[in-house]
A = this chain, B = another copy of it.
Amino acid sequence: MTKQELFGQIQAKKSYLCVGLDTDIQKIPTHLLKEEDPIFAFNKQIIDATHQYAVAYKPNIAFYEALGAKGWESLEKTLAYIPKECFTIADAKRGDIGNTSGLYARAFFDKNASGLDFDSVTVAPYMGEDSVTPFLQFDGKWVILLALTSNGGSRDFQTLAVGDEALYEKVLRTSQAWGSDEQLMYVVGATKADMLAHIRSIVPNHFLLVPGVGAQGGSLAEVSQYGMNSTCGLLVNSSRAIIYASSGEDFAQAAALEAQKVQLEMEQYLAAYL
């Protein structure tokens, strides 16, 4: 999907919501456990209920991998079910030496090899340029590089001073030479909304994936005010607050209501800041 197409979807749906499919067999409503593939049955209903409010879906790969080959099959069915106009993110946080990153790219981008063809994958920057570039060689696909994450551990290394800037700023600056804003986005934790204006000065044109709204805390208002650019430039993720809005048989309706609530708030911010 191109940047322009993604922006077109954001304008059409008046939303920059990404729904995180952190689908845990131990948390889905119990009535689904009698289904042949409970994970897919859950995702299917969540997607049906939320896709008019969401421009992106982000399966968290750990949740599928924890179930082995069976989980991988649920992931494949889920991805195939997501409407084609939605942007898809494999939240995998991969990254390895060149030829190995090339294989991870095949795993998430090459349907003929793996059965999966996500639009994007999240990548960790620690191993540097040659661990990232193999993902950028797939036409129309995106890397979403970790810059500043929303967890406590982000303060262990990401915010340390490297010369006169923090490591995450160095990652933002260095990686811009690896690919354009048509193929590279950044993960920026919303709990650091005060840093967003500064981050925008380093990467004015890139899309940012903001994972920290909802269960991880963080304010959608602040993120939108300080993070939005002329093509919106934001995908704001919510996982648990939407998909586990109810643990009963009404989980899909409850998810739709939560997603709609976020979408309506986003519609206001798009009107105010775009």
Is A100 located at the chain interface by the 8 A CB criterion?
yes
Most B CB contacts (10 A, CB to CB) among A66, A67, A131 go to: A66
Is A80 located at the chain interface by the 8 A CB criterion?
no
- Measured between alpha carbons, how far is A202 from B155 in the docked complex, in Å? 22
Stretch from A8-16, A28-36, A158-166 that touches the partner: A158-166
Is A60 located at the chain interface by the 8 A CB criterion?
yes
Q: Which of B98, B104, B129 contacts A66 (CB 8 A)?
A: B104
- Measured between alpha carbons, how far is A104 from B107 in the docked complex, in Å? 17
Min CB–CB distance A1 → chain B (angstroms): 22
| Complex contact A68–B113 (CB within 8 A) | yes
Question: Which single residue of chain B is at the shortest CB-CB distance from A98?
Answer: B151
Chain A 39-65 per-residue mask, 1 if CB under 8 angstroms from chain B, else 0: 000000000000000000000101101
Beyond A22-B100, A72-B72, list 11 extra A-B contacts (CB 8 Å). Answer: A62-B94, A62-B100, A66-B113, A68-B76, A68-B107, A69-B72, A69-B115, A97-B149, A128-B153, A128-B156, A161-B162
**What residues of chain A have their CB less than 8 Å away from a CB belonging to chain B?**
22, 24, 60, 62-63, 65-73, 76, 91, 93-98, 100-101, 103-104, 106-107, 110, 113-116, 124-132, 146, 149-158, 160-163, 167, 170-171, 174, 216
Subset of 19 A-B contacts with CB under 8 Å? A62-B103, A62-B104, A63-B100, A66-B104, A67-B114, A69-B70, A69-B72, A69-B115, A93-B124, A97-B153, A125-B156, A126-B146, A126-B149, A127-B151, A127-B154, A127-B158, A129-B153, A160-B163, A161-B162
